[in-house]
Amino acid sequence: MTFQFLCPQGHLLQGEEAHMGMQCQCPQCGTAFIIPTVERSAPAEPAPASTAPSSAPDLGPPDSTEPDLGGGLEGFGSDLSGEFDTGDLGSAVDETLLHIPCPNGHELEVPLDMLNQRAMCPHCGAEFRLRREKSIEHIFQQEALDRRRGEFWFKMAIVASAVVIVLLVIMIAAIALT
């Protein structure tokens, strides 16, 4: 059974279920990536046991049918508290792709539907799990949030110091008047 997916550069492709999890190259841009796995809602028809996936899956542009690209963004950025609003930190960034470095530092563009899956870096062959917490976007958001929290507590310390100084001046003035 065929399914549609996007390469890391956003080209719409289609592949066979037997090719899920295999490394391939986009025929349009040449970017190497891992074919995402999709969850089946119900088994449609059993795959014949005699067909084995080839070492290099033949991927081509999809049929004219449009893929279902809705959903998948639930909870994206929901870990940021409203008290420390991050504003438009990533508004210019494509929210359907994350940039996750492999253990050796090679940056991979990963669609959101591939999160929490095992992957192999096409550059060095290192195997690792794709986690949102390791993405450059998530790290950037956390650094911005930490910076805002630091600024908040710095301002609170200045206000507290000013209040203490004012109270000391009032106490000294009260003692001097008595």
Residue 74 lies in a domain: no
How far is Cα of residue 137 from the mean position of the Cα atoms in its chain? 6
Q: Which residue has the tokens 């799990």?
A: 129
pLDDT 10s digit of each residue in the chain, 178 long? 777 888 888 787 888 888 888 888 888 888 888 888 766 544 444 444 444 444 445 555 545 444 444 444 444 444 444 444 444 444 444 568 899 999 998 998 989 888 899 988 888 988 999 999 999 999 999 999 999 999 999 999 999 999 999 999 999 999 999 8
Range of the domain at 7: 2-44+85-177
Task: Encode 47-97 in three state secondary structure.
Answer: CCCCCCCCCCCCCECCCCCCCCCCCCCCCCCCCCCHHHCCCCCCCCCCCCE
Residue 59 lies in a domain: no
pLDDT at 54: 47
Return all residues near 119 (Cβ < 8 A) that are at least 6 apart: 34, 108, 110, 127, 128, 129, 130
Global pTM reads 0.42
Residue 77 lies in a domain: no
Residue 52 lies in a domain: no
Number of structural domains in the chain: 1
